[in-house]
Chains A and B, each alone.
Chain A
Amino acid sequence: MARRVLMGNTAVAEAVRLAGVQVVTAYPITPQTVIVERIAEMVERGELKARYIRVESEHSALALVYGAAAGGARAFTATSSHGLLYMYEMLWWVAGSRLPIVMAVVTRSIGPPWGLHSDHHDALTVRDTGWIIGFASSVQEAFDMTLQAFKISEDRRVMLPAMVALEGFTLSHTAEPVEMPDEKSVSEWLPPREPLPFKIEPGKAFAVGNTGPDEVTMELKWLAWRAMERSRFVIRETDLEYAKRFGLRSYGGLVEDVYAKGSDYVVVAMGAWCGDLKEAVEKLRGEGYRVGLLRIRYFRPFPWEELREVSQNAKAVLVIDRAVSIGHRGILGLEVSSAIGDRVPVKNVIAGIGGVDTGPEDFYSIVKTFIEEYESGSIEGWSIPEWYMPWMGVVSK
């Protein structure tokens, strides 16, 4: 076990090194670039024996690791924002072909205008592709989640690609102490990849995903759906096993529960700002409010069972969203409503789009307003987005 002070990006690169990744493709985009720069240095120094390939676009970055994984290699790439959108087509091919690739997505807003700071639009717009999508909330978690992503995604029960989202700058460029297991114990836990579900080799010709009957299209979707359902067990299991084996922290599987279970009011959010949100929740608890935070760690598979369980006795649920589906509501808000909206009132607040600063005081007032609205009985507007859609931090007059 080593303890080092690392930035989020460097921590991801360290996890890639420990996982013994064999092929890395790189196309620069802020704020992700430092990840592939660090990996390039590791390859240069011989610390990581990987093929490091510079490509001409993000589409090619993913296409190339697709090929590498189809050839049986453990493969990794990283991107952000517009880069992820440029990969969109390949995301479906990778997931549909069930290749266990790991990709870090350092979240960044999507233009216009060009912006560098974080919101969740990039990672959430690819939610239907069949990728496992995790959201880290600390540098340590970005490290743990990346390492675990290889284990989960390569598990025979799963065989789906996994994305680790970490907030641009807030995590990617912020240094925190990180505990890292040593190389030997990681390689015992994460042996070289099995060449599953297939392996392309010279002399053994076959086509992947050739034109087929309609029924095959439907069946492949069904198989991916079942695998994603099974990944719930594997994610929970891996979280516990990793913690036990390396003496590190178990986060609680698909969610992290911070006083949420049994509380009257449950706040649901995702990503790095949950640190500030936790501070606000603790302050409110100090003032006697029975409120807790349920932090979503994995957006896919979506933790609807955990949500139902935790909010069982809750009076109301608040979802603080960092991405909005224009024409409907916040993306996380929609997902939470679909899981528990039939049993408990759900309020949805949009904040922090494009990196607009949202600190503990803002969270304090958002959560307090929500509780006061519920207690004074003025919640009818919560379900009418056109009429009542609170946007926090919009400056237009």
Chain B
Amino acid sequence: MGIVYKPIDPEKEGIEDLEILSEKLLSKPSPGSAGKTGTWRLYKPRILVDKCIKCGICWLYCPEDTIAWPYRGLPSINYDYCKGCGICANVCPVNAIEMILEGE
């Protein structure tokens, strides 16, 4: 006879397995679950407040959700998690974001 798998209580085991499953299969987003990713940055975005027209496009496009934008207000960047990808600088319609080399 080969290996026979017979759960003692299929109902109980089924429910327990579903609990393990949702713990392992699902992940809930939370800030900084991968550590402070800001340290990965080579270039740092800087918002030129005089040029900014407060349109919020940078906020919309930032893939890391690290730009805060009070509706129609001035955006601000959380450098703890900004990876310096430069997307915000690229999409800004008035070139109000410049990328500067880290450490300069």
Residues on A lying within 8 angstroms of B by beta carbon are 96-98, 155-159, 196-198, 205-210, 212, 216, 219-220, 223, 226-227, 229-230, 233-234, 304-305
Contact = CB atoms under 8 A, between A and B. Distances in A.
Interface stretch (B13-21, B36-44, B48-56): B13-21
A220 B17 contact: no
A196 B26 CA distance: 13
A210 B33 CA distance: 13
Nearest to A216: B24
B18 A220 contact: no
A233 B26 CA distance: 28
18 contacts: A98-B18, A156-B18, A196-B18, A197-B18, A197-B21, A197-B25, A198-B22, A206-B27, A206-B28, A207-B26, A207-B28, A207-B29, A212-B24, A212-B27, A216-B24, A219-B20, A226-B7, A227-B17
Nearest to A209: B25
B25 A220 contact: yes
Nearest to A215: B24
Contacts of A304: 2
A155 B18 CA distance: 11
A209 B15 CA distance: 19
For the complex, would chain B's binding face be called helix, strand, loop or mixed by DSSP majority?
Answer: helix
Contacts of B21: 98, 197, 220, 223
B11 interface: yes
Interface residues of B, number: 20
Contact of A157 (B5, B11, B22, B27): B11
Contacts of A208: 25-26
Contacts of A219: 20, 24
Contact of B25 (A198, A230, A234): A198
Given A198-B26, A206-B26, A207-B29, A230 B7 contact: yes
B10 interface: yes
Given A205-B28, A223-B17, A230-B7, 18 more contacts: A97-B25, A98-B25, A156-B11, A156-B15, A157-B14, A159-B14, A197-B25, A206-B26, A206-B27, A206-B28, A207-B27, A210-B27, A223-B20, A223-B21, A223-B24, A226-B7, A226-B13, A229-B5
A210 B26 CA distance: 7
Contacts of A96: 25
Given A156-B11, A157-B11, A219-B24, A205 B17 contact: no
Contacts of B15: 156
A248 B76 CA distance: 68
